[in-house]
Amino acid sequence: MKKVVDLRSDTVTKPSPAMRQAMLEAEVGDDVFGEDPTVNHLQEMLAELLGKEAALFVPSGTMGNEIAIKCHTRPGDEVICEYGCHVYNYESGAAPFLSGVQFRPIKGQRGVITAAQVEEAIQPLPDHFPRTSLITVENTHNSAGGTIFPLSELERLYALAKQRNLKLHLDGARIWNAAVASGVSVEDYARYCDSIAVCFSKGLGAPVGSAVAGSKKFIVEAHRLRKLLGGGMRQAGILAAAARYALQHNFDRLHEDHLNARFLAEELCTIPGIKLDLEAVQTNIVIFDIEESGTSVQEILQKLKENGVLVVPFGSTRIRAVTHLDVNREEIKRAIRVVRGVLNSN
């Protein structure tokens, strides 16, 4: 029986035998007391990598983002974000629910909002308006197709934030992909934000875990909020060991996923009934439109599944495929053949 080609997300990766061995051998302690040596080492390693004073291991990227939002705002504040970003669309309404804030979304270009756009969106000071307190940026940008936020624009946004006494949070769940694809270090990206959230369970292939990083003062409050939100874990070194292994062994290989995504995108462009923006394929995400095929997304997904290829719907006429370390080039080629066969049969 052929292996299913699972392109639904880079979150479907499974830990390798070597990663499992690292988890087995992890030295552990009670992390709520700050006594898990593996967690502590991961946090120190990450803070150094990002050029921040401190870091905190958290169970999920959503928790990391929400901790940062809660740290930087107070109830009634407004958060400026890009219209398609994760914190606005894919975190179950957590920010309004947990922090009492509202979003002011701006329509960006391939997920990128400019300092000029943000400056125009900052609320004036009179009491009639909510207080703008935070800008959030996503890099890479999932719903835009894994696009990279330019370092120059991030620098301008950060300068604006400092000028207007705002905070800037970077949702860097896939910052590793941005760094590998652009040649810009994660430290350079992290330099232009007050806090950053990163994820180990996407392209890096760990089974669980994210982290937030920032100043020591920020992390002290983040630690309290992690406990408040139910994220305090005990012998978490077993999970931190997987994250540490992922950073040490799976970071540099991300370029393979990017090459596979580019190959997939270029081949999909040759299939009648499919349209996609090749310029948006900058990392490991491919979003394509099947409206011209005259077939519904759900029908296409079902036929692909029956033929051993898994992808996800991404709108009424769009489909998303994500490459990752558990799918090789031959499996990508098989997925292309299946997509071609399904579209040609309609």
> What's the whole-model pTM score?
0.96
Judge whether residue 125 has pLDDT over 90: no
Judge whether residue 24 has pLDDT over 90: yes
Average pLDDT over residues 203-216: 98
Average pLDDT over residues 250-254: 97
pLDDT band at 252 (very low <50, low <70, confident <90, very high): very high
The predicted structure's pLDDT at residue 40: 98
Judge whether residue 1 has pLDDT over 70: no
Judge whether residue 43 has pLDDT over 80: yes
The percentage of the chain sitting over the pLDDT mark of 70, rounded to a whole number, equals 99
- Cα-Cα-Cα-Cα torsion 5, 90, 58, 152, nearest 10 degrees, comes to 90
Task: Give residues with Cβ within 8 angstroms of 300, minimum separation 6.
Answer: 290, 293, 319, 342, 343
Average pLDDT over residues 121-135: 94
Average pLDDT over residues 64-85: 98
Q: Could you read off the pLDDT of 155-169 as tens digits, one per residue?
A: 999 999 999 999 999
Q: Could you read off the pLDDT of 301-337 as tens digits, one per residue?
A: 999 999 999 999 999 999 999 999 999 999 999 999 9
pLDDT band at 194 (very low <50, low <70, confident <90, very high): very high
Q: Going from the N-terminus, what domains does the chain have, and what CATH number goes with each?
A: 17-249 (3.40.640.10), 253-344 (3.90.1150.10)
The predicted structure's pLDDT at residue 333: 98
Judge whether residue 76 has pLDDT over 90: yes
pLDDT band at 274 (very low <50, low <70, confident <90, very high): very high
